[in-house]
Amino acid sequence: MTVPLISPSLLSADFARLGEEVRAIDAAGADWIHVDVMDGHFVPNLTIGPMVVKALRPHTAKPFDVHLMISPVDAYVEAFAAAGADIITVHPEAGPHVHRTVQLIRSLGKQAGISLNPATPAKMLDYLIDEIDLVLVMSVNPGFGGQSFITSQLRKIEAVRKMIDKTGRPIRLEVDGGVDAVTAPQCVAAGADVLVAGTATFRGGPERYAANIAALKGLG
């Protein structure tokens, strides 16, 4: 079975020690750093802005995997790109014109991702799949960490994997929400190759991060 990349979500980190937390998960084997950006409008929570991303950028060389849960999103893309995002993922519903948003992200030299909420069908990708670098399947409703995995999303992961394989392009398939040592192998079996994990990574404190990441990879 594929060993997935792990992108720990900073949503579950100690916000009083974010720089230290980023360095700790880097040293523990994280492949990417997942940054959840929420606006209190598109999703019912507020998190961080581009200034925090910029402040964290010197703490690691790992890719910043920035998930923008904000609407309207276009006005903020350039700021997050300038702050150090490597991958910028947006929702089709955050529009108004998601194809244009993808063009904007790529024009800034960044990788573009599309995120699908639990009720958003895989078919939403039909006219975007050739333009993007990543698909993020949300296996919880976005807005909060610590939620339970929605098992119906495994079928969507399988459907998206088939779409990606047809393109012949190296598009990453990422899953976020309720990912732990039990659900991680289910996601990988369905076709995911990147897993976002907040609670499952940060549980137990820094001395546990390496073991937690190894367990998510199926190596622990």
Annotated binding-site residue numbers: 9, 34, 36, 67, 143-146, 176-178, 198-199
The annotated binding site for substrate is made up of: 9, 67, 143-146, 176-178, 198-199
DSSP letter for each residue of 104-155: HHHHTT-EEEEEE-TTS-GGGGTTTGGG-SEEEEESS-TT-SSPPP-TTHHH
Selecting among 36, 74, 133, 193, the annotated active-site residue is: 36
Sign (positive/negative) of CA torsion 29, 157, 77, 200? Answer: negative
The annotated binding site for a divalent metal cation is made up of: 34, 36, 67, 176
Query: Per residue in 148-177, is it b (16+ CB within 10 Å) or e — as a string?
Result: ebbeebbebbebbbebbeeeeeebbbbbbb
Selecting among 74, 133, 176, 193, the annotated active-site residue is: 176
Q: Does residue 176 carry a catalytic annotation?
A: yes
- In this structure, are residues 56 and 30 in contact, taking their beta carbons and an 8 Å threshold? no
Q: Does residue 126 carry a catalytic annotation?
A: no
Which residues participate in catalysis according to the annotation? 36, 176
